[in-house]
């Protein structure tokens, strides 16, 4: 697909959109992306558990209580579900049956073989079949897979080892509130009111070396997601994927240190040249970058520190950073919806 096929532009502005779960951090980011792309506010319907309003970049969007009858939601051209997994599991199939195009940002359908899991720059071609339900990937997976897809195209992938450094925003608004409150406490200031912490330990001035529930085998839920989703997005069912996922005291960008082996030798210089030309990727020449603070609020996945590994001519390493709320979630969802309409 061409880049313009997943760009939300003037031809999309006549489409009606609904954001369910609009008051969460991802829903707010999604609304901001649509508004910044010129989408008319009156064609953005926001839903949450209760009535209210969103103030996004100085613009007010009314928020309605989520309707009990899904047929009213199915009337929109596209429905973005920024909802908990159990809500998506109940709602998404019904909306799809009613004819809506649904982009689900939860983990509910990512492992379903009948539901496409899409990063448009990588496997957007699957949207040409006009699926009614599309799953948005895990944020860390989306960020890691953009440069990994470039490697796969050039030399094939044999093995991928990932260490992730994931921002507090990955745990939603409660994660951000916890980080900010604990940082205030560390300075001797009042913590302020906020939701209960979603973390198993303090996050400020700390790292937590597991994300989500840890199973009996010692693997965390986030690590299982990364392995399965990377294989599905890249179309490599036999790819060896290993990861350690770490929560760090960063606001909104996830970082990944990736070590890999290719099927055929690939010089670091050749990979850098391809990364510079790849859509959705920004090459960073700074030997001490990329970094999450400078990458926040940006659409690109920033990639740097490409170098040969220590395991022979098929061994490489790189470091990548992406905004978890944008390419890791809301931006990717908008790109999916844009491509769905291009396919019609």
Q: Which residues of 276-301 are buried (b: 16+ CB within 10 A; e: fewer)?
A: eebebbbbbeeeeebbbeebbebebb
Whether residue 308 contacts residue 289, with contact meaning beta carbons closer than 8 Å, is answered with: no
Distance CA 89, CA 138 (A): 16
Q: Helix 268-277 and helix 139-155: axis angle, to 10°?
A: 120
Say which DSSP state 208 is in: B
Mutual angle of helices 25-36 and 331-342, in 10-degree steps? 50
CA distances from 292 to 48, 70, 138 (A): 30, 39, 18
Cα 108 from Cα 296, distance rounded (Å): 27
Q: Which two tokens stand for residue 99?
A: 């004819």
Which residue has tokens 């195009």?
Answer: 101
Which residues sit opposite 245 in a β-bridge? 164
Q: In terms of DSSP bridges, do strands 59-65 and 44-48 run parallel, antiparallel, or are they unpaired?
A: parallel
DSSP string across 268-334: HHHHHHHHHHSTTEEE---TT---HHHHTT-SSEEEEEEEE-SS-TTEEEEEEEEETTIIIIIHHHH
Which residues participate in catalysis according to the annotation?
139, 254
């Amino acid at each position: 697909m061409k880049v313009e096929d997943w760009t939300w532009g003037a031809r999309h502005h006549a489409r009606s959109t609904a954001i369910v779960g609009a008051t969460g951090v991802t829903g707010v980011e999604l609304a901001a992306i649509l508004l910044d792309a010129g989408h008319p506010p009156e064609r953005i319907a926001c839903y949450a558990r209760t009535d209210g309003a969103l103030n996004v970049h100085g613009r007010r969007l009314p928020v309605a209580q989520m309707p009990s009858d899904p047929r009213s939601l199915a009337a929109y051209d596209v429905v973005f579900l920024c909802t908990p997994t159990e809500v998506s599991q109940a709602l998404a199939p019904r909306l799809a049956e009613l004819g809506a195009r649904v982009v689900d940002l939860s983990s509910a359908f990512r492992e379903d073989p009948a539901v496409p899991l899409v990063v448009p720059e990588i496997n957007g071609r699957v949207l040409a079949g006009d699926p009614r339900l599309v799953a948005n990937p895990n944020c860390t997976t989306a960020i890691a897979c953009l440069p990994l897809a470039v490697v796969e195209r050039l030399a094939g992938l044999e093995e991928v080892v990932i260490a992730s450094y994931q921002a507090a925003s990955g745990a939603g608004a409660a994660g951000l509130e916890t980080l900010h409150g604990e940082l205030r406490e560390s300075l001797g200031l009042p913590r302020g009111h906020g939701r209960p912490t979603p973390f198993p330990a303090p996050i400020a001035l700390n790292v937590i070396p597991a994300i989500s529930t840890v199973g009996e085998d010692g693997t965390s839920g986030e690590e299982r997601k990364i392995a399965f989703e990377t294989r599905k997005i890249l179309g490599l069912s036999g790819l060896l994927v290993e990861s350690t996922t770490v929560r760090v005291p960063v606001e909104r960008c996830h970082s990944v240190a990736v070590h890999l082996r290719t099927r055929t030798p690939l010089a670091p210089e050749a990979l850098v040249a391809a990364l510079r030309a790849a859509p959705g990727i920004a090459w960073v020449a700074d030997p001490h970058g990329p970094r999450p603070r400078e990458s926040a609020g940006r659409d690109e996945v920033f990639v740097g520190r490409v170098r040969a590994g220590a395991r022979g001519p098929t061994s490489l390493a790189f470091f990548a950073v992406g905004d978890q709320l944008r390419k890791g979630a809301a931006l990717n969802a908008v790109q999916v919806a844009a491509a769905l309409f291009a396919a019609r």
